[in-house]
Structure 1
Amino acid sequence: MPIRINNIKIGLDDDINKLNNEVAKRLKISINSLKDIRILKESIDARKEDIKLCYHVEVDVESEDKVLNKTKTKDVFKVEKSEELVVDYGDEVLSSRPIVVGSGPCGMFAALLLAENGYKPILLERGCEAKKRKEKIDFFYKTGVLDLDSNVQFGEGGAGTFSDGKLTTRIKDPRCSFVLKGFTESGAPSEIIYSGKPHIGTDILINVVENIRKRIIELGGEVRFSSKVTDIIEKDGSVKALKINNNEEIEAEVVILAIGHSARDTYEMLLKSGINLNQKAFAIGARVEHLQSMIDENQYGKQCTHPKLKAADYRLTHRSEITGRPCYSFCMCPGGVVVAASSEENRLVVNGMSEYKRDGENANSAIVVGVYPEDFESSHPLAGMEYQRHYESLAYNLGGGSYTAPVQNTKDFIEGKVSKHFNDVKPSYTRDTVFKDLNECLPDYVTTTMREALVSFDRKIKGFSQNGILTGIETRTSAPVTMPRGENLESHDIKGIYPAGEGAGYAGGIMSAAVDGLKVAEKIMGKYKPLD
């Protein structure tokens, strides 16, 4: 079995071959005794002035037990055989092909796994394919004409395609390897396998999701665009069919609902169809931008321009002494832009996006504050969704219409002033902007918490509160509901319906959504035979 060695550090100016020398030194063997070295993780240790590259590696050697006896350290250990994604098929017979609703990471990987195992899924997507979707989004940025079914939230690849393609996750699940492999085999950079903070970038993701779709089709699956599910037809407590675009019915026995966190009209339809929804907490706030060079200098110091250092990121948290609420950075996009992310007319919402190189002038991140069901002032299951809609409408009207975003310099926001001119940071927002007071489109407890947090963040990143600009507003940090499901991951309310991913409240980000889609697909495979 291979040996794993953690926390091997080399300097920024060291040749990568020094890694081999350090591995041999750590194992107390000659470099010629190393059969193969595989990088499992590469990260940056910037805690000290002398920045290091830190590696976790796996190595094959002869007589591994003998080698381990010589080292005796917690950072060197034998690797157990990794678990493969293996599912025992069930014995029930499907009367129709399984249907996956939504082609974000959850639906996409659920469909891929089903296709690879002979289930020939039908993948339904309300929006259009990625390249055509990009054309519609670019047209929206230019004209303000919004396509309600193909936008930053909806279309092939889901919302993650037009954000940054961040693959960082806190979950420890062997299925993550399946997801990373699926991405790399479809054209994602191979470094996502070992990068400490992997990302793909919107420019590459557009091609990657197209290649995954082609793979699903090659394996016998079907992918249908411009196909919005408008009703669920059930009989005796089980799903029997789905209505598409209000005029077509598709027979259904098994349906994975991977609708994403912004499919508000679908939430309304599900509630009418008898699917119970529960209110869920989420977070709202605004996007903050700084010069990427300022973030780099704060994070890396004198070595900030070193070619081996990529655009720096950050993760900041604060709990308000005044409101008691948490405030934190979310979906940080180094070298990125702030995008117009609306999916409903006359409602304004923003998001962040980066391309693979992350070489834009600005860094941006959401600065958001936790909000809870008691803030929604209603017991209705969709009260959180209406709460989002309310503040998005305020932001749209504050901007003056046409998806023009209200902006405010961070210093002026803290001092309660409407900004009159830009400082060093110019907003990258993909529509127009106008100087306004963001207090007019966010609740007081949110802006109070944000002001306090920005001052706190300045103690960690110098200039954070004084040299930035805020663009309003961000409301789509996660779904405003959860859809209850049982241990078999099936809906409590309609048999054959499997709520999954972010839209159902069971994930937060590309990786966790994809993993949840795989879990649901495994449950279906464990119950039914393949169609082949």
Structure 2
Amino acid sequence: MQKEIELAVSPDLILDEAAILHMGAKKLGVAVSRIGGIHIRKRSIDGRSRQVVYRLRVIFYIDESPTPFTYTSNLKQVKDAKPVIIIGAGPAGLFAAYRCLERGLKPIVLERGKAVQDRRRDLARINREGVVNPESNYCFGEGGAGTYSDGKLYTRSDKRGDVQKVLSIFVEHGADEDILVNARPHIGTNKLPHIIQLMRERIVEQGGEVHFDAKVIDILTSSGQATGVKLADGATINASNIIVATGHSARDIFYLFRDKGWLLEAKPFALGVRIEHPQYIVDSAQYHCVERHENLPPAYYSLVEQVDGRGVFSFCMCPGGIIAPCATDQEEIVVNGWSPSKRNNPHANSGTVTQINLEDIPAAINNPFALLEFQQAVEQKAFQAGGGALVAPAQRMVDFVEGRLSNDLPNHSYKPGTKSVELKEVLPDFVHKALQGALPRFGKKMKGYYTNEAILVGVESRTSSPLRIPRNKDSLQHPQVAGLYPCAEGAGYAGGIVSAAIDGMNCIDAIN
């Protein structure tokens, strides 16, 4: 017999399975000797009161033994099967390819960047020299932006597809089983590359293909039907089904659609800065302590505020993390954040942004590219303010709000370096004013947040795609091109690793 109950467990006892067993036996009113084992199904941290506790959903096995977790995909050999071209090897592309193996379709994955291990050298050069390879960077390459954006797997996409399946596939390829349990699952940027590599190897073993340095420069059609793609090296690959999973930064794909006269539309996105605090400030505020308990992870936060009718919110919060340079071309500054699996760096960072709506940029009503051009202009302005070599414009938090140049900047994690700048000279006026109004209010919600120990680094601009590639609701195909499936973040239909993975699988399931 199995019984599932909720328990509140102190950090002192969270690693003590015997204590949890006794707590559950008491709550269930059964003898400890009758319990054959337990399985923690969900785990979250509750810091709402002064006493921080773990909240567990635990299955107790009474008069029986627990069933161990196993997950094995049912994959088919697809070497000679019907081909599906997948443009992009990010989360959407990889999971689309994986779903092909389950469906008996042959995935042909075309990635403009490099394999994950080769990609590391280009990332090192970005951090060390401030030099961006437009085809191999934090956004382009095996695993896409997801490989180097922390590996956070928290999502609200349950209605879009099977979240647990996505997590289970990650576990099957080496992720810790804790991601199946934790309320805010996280793999870590240090572990993701190996997991991604194993997924690719499995795809190839089953007869799929994965090609790197394979930039698609044209999508071929005949009488409104997709027929294949042309690569930068002149090669063509034929298939009647094409998944476009190129991510939010592949601007050339948007221009390709424009040149072909295919429908595009402007889409709201968010823009702001990345804010970094010493991690101990976040721990102290969230755990109500001077020093974080050894059994508690580095704390995170989620903040939102309305300023004159405009929402300002934290985004992609990285406890124990690093601010990373995520530009995809020369002469632009884009920042993002990531964390290693242990989240053991001394800083915590989060994107802090406000929504950019079509009405903010009136040209967007008639020009699908207006928001992309606006985004690009801000990134270029940030580059100019920093002075080159990916040095980012930055300012202390209180100085930013009170409108003064910072005399110096605190220690931070952004490796290419920062330059003290008044960020109002970089950010659009309405973005600057919204952030300026929100930060003191965040400080009232979270003790210690509003401080000059925090640094604002500009700009956080790639929160999502500024364009959407339309698709039919039922068939998921582009309304003008049969067999062409706009997919995930780059097409405007997902945000984050899990939702992108789900969208990739859904697009494969839409193929007849």
* 8 Å contact kept, 1:118–1:219: no
> Paired residue for 1:342, among 323, 327, 335?
327
Alignment of 1:490-501 (within 5 A): 490-501=477-488
* 8 Å contact kept, 2:131–2:390: no
> Paired residue for 1:397, among 379, 384, 392?
384
> Paired residue for 1:447, among 432, 435, 440?
432
Alignment of 1:224-235 (within 5 A): 224-235=211-222
* 8 Å contact kept, 1:230–1:246: no
Alignment of 1:225-264 (within 5 A): 225-245=212-232, 247-264=234-251
Paired residue for 1:431? 416
Paired residue for 1:201? 188
| Equivalent position amino acid for 1:443 in 2 | P
Q: Which moved more, 1:148-157 or 1:171-180?
A: 171-180
| Equivalent position amino acid for 2:388 in 1 | G
| Equivalent position amino acid for 1:513 in 2 | A
1:356 and 2:324 aligned? no
Per-residue deviation, 1:12: 1.5
* 8 Å contact kept, 2:112–2:214: yes
Aligned equivalents of 2:81, 2:31: Cα separation in 1: 61
Per-residue deviation, 1:356: 0.8
Aligned equivalents of 1:24, 1:103: Cα separation in 2: 48
Aligned equivalents of 1:459, 1:31: Cα separation in 2: 46
> Paired residue for 2:459, among 473, 484, 490?
473
Paired residue for 1:312? 299
**What SS does the corresponding residue of 1:512 show, helix, strand or coil?**
helix
Aligned in 2, Cα 1:3/1:504: closer, same or farther, shift over 3 Å? Answer: farther
Aligned equivalents of 1:260, 1:28: Cα separation in 2: 53
Deviations 1:285-323 (A, max 9, x none): 0011110011101111227421110100000000103xx
Alignment of 1:11-50 (within 5 A): 11-14=10-13, 15-50=16-51
Per-residue deviation, 1:18: 2.1
Per-residue deviation, 1:22: 2.7
Per-residue deviation, 1:254: 0.5
> Paired residue for 1:284, among 264, 271, 285?
271
Paired residue for 1:488? 475
Alignment of 1:113-262 (within 5 A): 113-173=99-159, 175-245=162-232, 247-262=234-249
Paired residue for 2:8? 9
Aligned in 2, Cα 1:270/1:32: closer, same or farther, shift over 3 Å? Answer: farther
**What SS does the corresponding residue of 1:488 show, helix, strand or coil?**
coil
Per-residue deviation, 1:16: 2.5
Aligned equivalents of 1:342, 1:103: Cα separation in 2: 18
| Equivalent position amino acid for 1:48 in 2 | S
**What SS does the corresponding residue of 1:12 show, helix, strand or coil?**
coil
Aligned equivalents of 1:85, 1:522: Cα separation in 2: 16
Per-residue deviation, 1:96: 4.8
Aligned in 2, Cα 1:165/1:95: closer, same or farther, shift over 3 Å? Answer: closer
Residue ranges of structure 2 left out of the alignment (5+ in a row) = 65-71
Which 4+ residue blocks in structure 1 deviate beyond 6 angstroms?
84-87
Aligned equivalents of 1:95, 1:297: Cα separation in 2: 56
Deviations 1:342-397 (A, max 9, x none): 00211111111111111111110111011111222312112111111010011111
Per-residue deviation, 1:446: 0.5
Deviations 1:177-205 (A, max 9, x none): 11111111111122111011111111100
Paired residue for 1:508? 495
Give the structure-2-normalised TM-score. Answer: 0.93
Aligned equivalents of 2:2, 2:251: Cα separation in 1: 49
Aligned length: 495
| Equivalent position amino acid for 1:19 in 2 | I
| Equivalent position amino acid for 2:179 in 1 | I
Paired residue for 1:75? none
| Equivalent position amino acid for 1:354 in 2 | S
Deviations 1:430-477 (A, max 9, x none): 212111111111111111110111000101222322231101001000
Q: Which moved more, 1:495-504 or 1:297-306?
A: 297-306
Q: Which moved more, 1:237-246 or 1:290-299?
A: 237-246
Aligned equivalents of 2:262, 2:296: Cα separation in 1: 49
1:371 and 2:356 aligned? yes
Per-residue deviation, 1:62: 6.2
Aligned in 2, Cα 1:56/1:127: closer, same or farther, shift over 3 Å? Answer: same
| Equivalent position amino acid for 1:234 in 2 | T
Alignment of 1:77-116 (within 5 A): 96-116=82-102
Deviations 1:465-509 (A, max 9, x none): 223110100100011111211212111110001111111111111
| Equivalent position amino acid for 2:505 in 1 | L
Paired residue for 2:441? 456
**What SS does the corresponding residue of 1:203 show, helix, strand or coil?**
coil
Aligned in 2, Cα 1:198/1:95: closer, same or farther, shift over 3 Å? Answer: closer
| Equivalent position amino acid for 1:479 in 2 | S
Aligned equivalents of 1:247, 1:175: Cα separation in 2: 38
Aligned equivalents of 1:199, 1:218: Cα separation in 2: 27
Aligned equivalents of 1:313, 1:307: Cα separation in 2: 16
* 8 Å contact kept, 1:427–1:471: no
* 8 Å contact kept, 2:244–2:484: yes
Across the aligned residues of Structure 1 and Structure 2, the Cα RMSD in angstroms comes to 2.0
* 8 Å contact kept, 2:166–2:502: yes
Deviations 1:110-134 (A, max 9, x none): 1011123331211111100111111
Per-residue deviation, 1:104: 0.9
Give the structure-1-normalised TM-score. Answer: 0.89
Deviations 1:40-73 (A, max 9, x none): 111111111222111112344469xxxxxxxxxx
* 8 Å contact kept, 1:231–1:273: no
Paired residue for 1:79? none
Per-residue deviation, 1:38: 1.7
Paired residue for 1:91? none
**What SS does the corresponding residue of 1:98 show, helix, strand or coil?**
strand
Per-residue deviation, 1:139: 1.0
* 8 Å contact kept, 2:82–2:106: no
